[in-house]
Amino acid sequence: MKICFYAPFKPLDHPQPSGDVVTARGIVDFLRSRGHEVVPASSLRCRWIYWRPWLWPRLLQERRRVVRRLSGRGFDIWFSYHSYYKAPDLLGPYAAGRMGLPFVLFQGVFSTKRRRDWKTLPGFHLNRRILLAARQVFTNKQVDRRNLERLLPASRIRYVAPGIHPGDFRFDSEARQRLRGAWPAGDEPVVLAVAMFRPGVKTEGLAWVIRACGELRRRGQRLRLVIVGDGRERARLMRLAQAELPGRALFAGRIDRSELYRYYSAADLFVFPGIQESLGMVYLEAQSCGLPVVAFENAGVPEAVQNGATGLLVPMYDGRQFVAAIERLLQDQDLRRRMGANAKAHVRQFHDIRKNYRDMESVLQEMVRR
């Protein structure tokens, strides 16, 4: 197949690491690995575009440019990734229609509560029209699938479980020994958190981890905390860690995703609340390396973590249970190992991107054959 690909929220080459970009690149990489030609159509971002009238002329120009550049080149499908109220795909349906291509959407999101706020009302209606225009909508979240069924027939919705390449996130005993020696951790259990230090829920989540580990240290629990990531809130988080965990918290900085498996391998437990986390690829990565998880039971986290089997999920903002879950896994090495083994098997059985995307590929191929 020859596919036009477009991501209205964040383009494929967006410099800021995020699960959104990782998922989009994963789709493109998979399709190319299967022999399909995938051509990025545009880098236009539609984020809040309906409240940014100075961008409207560019949108109109980009529509004309894309249709002119890509028409007549034998494309089979227009494939857009992630359209929702904040970044409705105002390019894909138009270009697909002008080029005579079926319009397919991955991670189309439908949320009726957005029509109750004047700020998001235009985005709600624009995105609703885009969803209705899609020949097929793929979603990697069950809650989104249920919401989409309020708008579209079930035949036009397909659930695809989120996934990673498990081989990219494998346990490495040499990396474990080397990093633990450098930190130094010795035989102390290491709690790991991975997130960008962006203002809002990411930094709030890291603060929860730091405070929880600080509480456990005050109770006499042996542990070290390692935080991977960087961003605007670094100084604030470092001050908090110095107050809560003096000499016991290491900020490793931003680590390339291809190297993260070394840090997962060196840790004993992955902890990150995942406040309003839409999906949480880090949970799949950590589990693939054999780490059990502690997080809040909210949003997309349960899509990746099996509560009681591969980790412990606690109610949102329940500090007592959050600390207790971390403490339980730090003190029970056998439980950590069992959950870690379950986690590794769980990812390979249900979240292998190559297996999960083959179903999507079959749907696309059938669409082209019609």
- Please check whether residues 185 and 330 belong to one and the same domain: yes
Count CB neighbours of 332 within 10 A.
Answer: 12
- Please check whether residues 152 and 207 belong to one and the same domain: no
Confidence (pLDDT) at 265: 98
The whole-angstrom separation of Cα 280 and Cα 284 is 7
Predicted confidence (pLDDT) at residue 277 exceeds the cutoff of 90: no
Confidence (pLDDT) at 264: 98
For residues 83 and 109, the answer to whether their CB atoms sit within 8 Å is yes
- Please check whether residues 337 and 357 belong to one and the same domain: no
Confidence (pLDDT) at 21: 85
Confidence (pLDDT) at 118: 92
- Please check whether residues 177 and 265 belong to one and the same domain: yes
Domain tally, the chain: 2
Tokens for 252, please give them: 């490793």
| Reported pTM | 0.84
- Please check whether residues 129 and 253 belong to one and the same domain: no
- Please check whether residues 66 and 213 belong to one and the same domain: no
- Please check whether residues 148 and 186 belong to one and the same domain: no
- Please check whether residues 158 and 170 belong to one and the same domain: no
CA distances from 16 to 146, 168, 291 (A): 30, 20, 25
The whole-angstrom separation of Cα 332 and Cα 139 is 37
Tell me the residue range of the domain where 130 lies. 2-163+353-369
pLDDT tens for each residue of 285-304:
999 999 999 999 998 899 99
pLDDT tens for each residue of 148-185:
999 999 999 999 998 899 999 999 999 999 999 999 99
- Put residue 225 in one of left, alpha, beta given phi > 0 → left and psi -120 to 50 → alpha: beta
Predicted confidence (pLDDT) at residue 18 exceeds the cutoff of 80: no
Confidence (pLDDT) at 15: 72
The secondary structure of residue 225, as a DSSP letter, is E
With bands split at pLDDT 50, 70 and 90, how would you rate the model's confidence at 218?
very high
Rounded-to-5 percentages of helix, strand, coil across the chain: 50, 15, 35
Beta strands in 140-186 (DSSP E): 157-159
208 CB contacts (<8 Å, ≥6 apart)? 273, 275, 319, 322
DSSP annotation string for 257-319: GGGHHHHHHH-SEEE---TT-SS-HHHHHHHHTT--EEEES-TTHHHH--BTTTEEEE-TT-H
- Please check whether residues 127 and 176 belong to one and the same domain: no
Which is it for strands 311-314 and 293-296: parallel, antiparallel or unpaired? Answer: parallel
pLDDT tens for each residue of 195-217:
999 999 999 999 999 999 999 99
- Please check whether residues 144 and 241 belong to one and the same domain: no
- Please check whether residues 131 and 248 belong to one and the same domain: no
pLDDT tens for each residue of 84-133:
999 999 999 999 999 999 999 999 999 989 989 999 999 999 999 999 99
The secondary structure of residue 133, as a DSSP letter, is H
The secondary structure of residue 101, as a DSSP letter, is -
- Please check whether residues 94 and 232 belong to one and the same domain: no
- CATH number, domain of 102, equals 3.40.50.2000
Cα angle at 114 between 136 and 159, to 5 degrees?
A: 30
pLDDT tens for each residue of 42-98:
999 999 999 999 999 999 999 999 999 999 999 999 999 999 999 999 999 999 999
pLDDT tens for each residue of 324-365:
999 999 999 999 999 999 999 999 999 999 999 999 999 999
DSSP annotation string for 23-37: HHHHHHHHHHHTT-E
Predicted confidence (pLDDT) at residue 17 exceeds the cutoff of 70: no
